[in-house]
Structure 1
C-alpha cells in the first residue's frame, strides 16, 4: 500500500472521491488528504462564519441585559436577538447548500472561497471586541479544528453516515417488521412491571440519561467486537490475495468505524421507534392513577412547553430505559443470531469489500502511472486481482 496516492489521472481522482463518499477517507494517504484541503473545508468554514454572525447579532441585542431585565428592552434589541437566532438556525442549511454548489464548481473556486472564509473568520472578531462577542482566539481555534477535522476525514465520515441513515430510513419498515414483534413480547412484561416504574421514578432525568449512556457504551463496545471479528476474516482473506501486504492501522481503523457506524445507525433507528411506540402506547393503559399505585406517589409532570403533553416524566424515563435495552438486545442478537447477522451485518461487510476493491483499483492506477518515478518497493501497490 503506498503511503500516499499520488496521481492526477481523472479515474484515480474519481476513485479517491468515491472512497471519501464511502466513509473511507483514511484509506487515502497523508498527501491526498492534504490535497484540496481548503476547498473541502469551505462548507464548514461557511457554517462557522454563520454561527459567528449569529452570535454577534444576539450579543448586540443582549448588551443591555441585566439581572433586573432579563429580556431585550427595546424593539431594536429584540430584533437583533431574533435575527441572530434565525442566522444560527440557518447554519446547517448554509453548510449543505455550499457543499452542493462546490461539487459542481472547479477546485479553484473552492480554494479562493475557503481562503476568503478563513480571513473572514479571523477578521470578524476584530471588528468589535465586546465582552459578549466572539474573540480572535475563538476564530483561530475554530479554523484550526475545522482544518484538522477535515484532514482526518471527520466531515467525509459524517456526510457518509448521514446518507447511510437516510438509506436505512427507507428500509426501516422491513427492519421493524423483523425485529419489533419479538422485542415487544419481551418488553411488554417489563413495561407493565411495577418494580421498574418504582426504580425509574426515583431517578432524576440526569441519572436516567446516565443509565441510557452506560447501555449505549456497552452497545458500542459489542458492535465493535461484532464488526471486528468479521472484518478480521475479510482482511485476512484480502491480505492473502494481495501477497500478504497488510493494511495500514489507519485503514483498519477507518474500515472498522465504517462497519460499526452502519450497525449503530440501524440500532439508533430501532431504539427511536421503540421509544415512540411505548410513549404513545403507554398513554392509553398507564393512567396517572395507575402510575401512582405503582410508584407510590403522583407521577411528576413536565413543565414549560411540555406541560400540556399527556405524558408524565416516569413514563418517558421508563420508555428511555426500555428503548436503550432493546437497542442493546438487538446488538447482541446481531452477534449471536445467524439470521440477524445475515440481514443486518452482511450489508455492512459488503460495503467493506467494495471499499477494498476501490482501494485496490486506485492504488493499481498509481502503480501503473509511476508518476514520481522513484516509488520505493514498500510503496508500490499490488497488482489488481484476477
Structure 2
C-alpha cells in the first residue's frame, strides 16, 4: 500500500518523539526528518558558533604576535589565547543549555533562534581576513555536515546515548559487583607479571593507545556481530506474527547501532572502572624499587601537570592495556555466557522490542492502516545460545 504523508496529529507527534527518544530516528520517513530541522539544529548551531568565535579570538590574537615572540609570549597574549581556548571548549555547555531552553519553547521559537544563529555563523568569516581566521568555504562545509548529521539523526542518537550512559551509571555498582571480581582474578597474574611491564615500558604512549584502539575496534566488531544475531532472532519472531515488521535496511542499521552503542557504553564504563582500580592498586602494591627490577631501569614519570601524581608512566600503560583487554573479554562474555547476556544484553533487546512496537504503530498510521494491537514483548528463548562460564 502506498505511503501517505502524515498529518501532525498529537498521536503521530508522540510516536515521533518516542522513536527519537529510543534512538531510532531513521524509522521516520525523510519528510518527517526534514520537518523542524532548523529548530532541532539550533543547539548544534550554538555549539558551532561558540567554537568559531573561540577560534577567531585565538587566531586573531596570535596573528598579531611576532614570530620571534612566539617562544616567549607576553602575559597579555597568553591571556587572550587562553580566553579563546576557553570559549572553544565551552561549546558542549552552550549546546546543552540552549537545548534545555528550547525544549520548553514552541517550534516557531526554535525556528527563529535557528535562523538567527545560522545568519550569525555565516557572518563569522567577515570578522577576520580569510588568511587569519575561518573562511566562508570552511563555514559552508561545517554547516553542510551539521545539517546532514541532523537530518540523519546523529544528534538524536547521541542524546539517547547520553541518557543511556547516565542510566548505566546508576547500575554501575551491580556491574562492578558481578564482573570486577572475576576480572580481578583473571588479570591479577598478568598485572604482577614482569614481562608485561618490560614490554609496555618499551612502547611509546602513541603505540600504547594504538594497541587500545585495535582492541576497541575488535570489541566493536564483536558487539556488532552479537547485536545482529540477536536482532535477527527478534525480527524473525516478529515476522512470524501477524503483520510483520518489514524493516528497511536503514531501520535495521539504526536498531543494530542502538544495540551496539549500549554495549559500547557498558564496556567503556567497565574499562574506566578497571583502569582506575588497577592504577590505585598499583600505586599501593608496586613500589618504585619493584618496578625498577621488573623494567630494568627506573620507571618514567608523567609529564606536565600530572607529574605531581604518584603514578609512573609504565603503570598507566599497563593499566590501559589490561583495561582494554578486560573490556574485550566482557564483550565476549556477553555473547557466550547466559548470565552475562541476561544481565547486560537483555535490557538492550527489550528497548529494541519496545522500538519495534512503536514502529509498528507509526508505520500503520503512515500507511493509512489501523494500528495493530500491542504485541507481546517477552524475550525469545535463549536456549539456542551457548552457555558456559565467563571467558577469562
TM-score of the superposed pair, with normalisation by structure 1: 0.92
In structure 2, distance between residues paired with 1:4 and 1:210: 50
Quote the offset at 1:127 in angstroms: 2.8
Partner of 2:60: 60
Quick check: 1:275–1:322 contact (8 Å CA) kept in 2? yes
Quick check: 1:259–1:348 contact (8 Å CA) kept in 2? yes
In structure 2, distance between residues paired with 1:36 and 1:101: 16
Quick check: 1:292–1:298 contact (8 Å CA) kept in 2? yes
In structure 2, distance between residues paired with 1:244 and 1:168: 32
Partner of 1:158: 158
Quick check: 1:2–1:29 contact (8 Å CA) kept in 2? no
Quick check: 1:5–1:28 contact (8 Å CA) kept in 2? no
Quick check: 2:361–2:371 contact (8 Å CA) kept in 1? no
Partner of 2:93: 93
Q: CA RMSD, aligned part only? A: 1.8
TM-score of the superposed pair, with normalisation by structure 2: 0.91
Pair 1:297–1:5, CA change in 2 (3 A): farther
In structure 2, distance between residues paired with 1:198 and 1:83: 43
In structure 1, distance between residues paired with 2:5 and 2:206: 48
In structure 1, distance between residues paired with 2:219 and 2:328: 5
Quote the offset at 1:6 in angstroms: 2.0
Quick check: 2:216–2:328 contact (8 Å CA) kept in 1? yes
Quote the offset at 1:11 in angstroms: 1.2
Partner of 1:209: 209
Q: Would you say 1:35 and 2:35 are equivalent positions?
A: yes
The one-character-per-residue Cα deviations of 1:305-330 (angstroms, maximum 9, x if unpaired) are 11111111110110000000000111
Q: Would you say 1:173 and 2:166 are equivalent positions?
A: no
> Which moved further from structure 2: 60-69 or 24-33?
60-69
In structure 2, distance between residues paired with 1:242 and 1:157: 30
In structure 1, distance between residues paired with 2:373 and 2:190: 55
In structure 1, distance between residues paired with 2:146 and 2:130: 25
Pair 1:62–1:35, CA change in 2 (3 A): same
Quote the offset at 1:244 in angstroms: 4.1
Q: Would you say 1:314 and 2:314 are equivalent positions?
A: yes
In structure 2, distance between residues paired with 1:151 and 1:381: 28
Partner of 1:128: 128
Quick check: 1:62–1:72 contact (8 Å CA) kept in 2? no
Partner of 1:73: 74
Quote the offset at 1:366 in angstroms: 3.1
Partner of 1:233: 233
Pair 1:299–1:116, CA change in 2 (3 A): same
In structure 2, distance between residues paired with 1:49 and 1:127: 13
Quote the offset at 1:382 in angstroms: 6.8
Quick check: 1:215–1:328 contact (8 Å CA) kept in 2? yes
Quote the offset at 1:73 in angstroms: 3.1
Quick check: 2:271–2:323 contact (8 Å CA) kept in 1? yes
Pair 1:231–1:224, CA change in 2 (3 A): same
> Which moved further from structure 2: 53-62 or 203-212?
53-62
Pair 1:3–1:188, CA change in 2 (3 A): farther
Q: RCO greater where, 1 or 2, for CA within 8 Å and sep 6 or more?
A: 1
In structure 2, distance between residues paired with 1:119 and 1:278: 50
In structure 1, distance between residues paired with 2:283 and 2:75: 43
In structure 2, distance between residues paired with 1:111 and 1:177: 47
SS class of match (2:247): coil
The one-character-per-residue Cα deviations of 1:253-308 (angstroms, maximum 9, x if unpaired) are 00000011111101000000000000111012211211111111221112221111
Quick check: 1:24–1:255 contact (8 Å CA) kept in 2? yes
Partner of 2:272: 272
Quick check: 2:245–2:360 contact (8 Å CA) kept in 1? no
Aligned pairs for 1:298-337 (under 5 A) are: 298-337=298-337
Where do 5+ consecutive residues of structure 1 fail to align?
A: 371-379
Partner of 1:26: 26
Partner of 2:386: none
Partner of 2:118: 118
Quote the offset at 1:4 in angstroms: 7.3
Partner of 1:376: none
The one-character-per-residue Cα deviations of 1:117-148 (angstroms, maximum 9, x if unpaired) are 11111111123215331111111011101100
Quick check: 2:279–2:316 contact (8 Å CA) kept in 1? yes
Partner of 1:373: none
Number of positions where the alignment pairs a residue of Structure 1 with one of Structure 2: 374
Quote the offset at 1:242 in angstroms: 4.2
Aligned pairs for 1:181-192 (under 5 A) are: 181-192=181-192
Pair 1:283–1:321, CA change in 2 (3 A): same
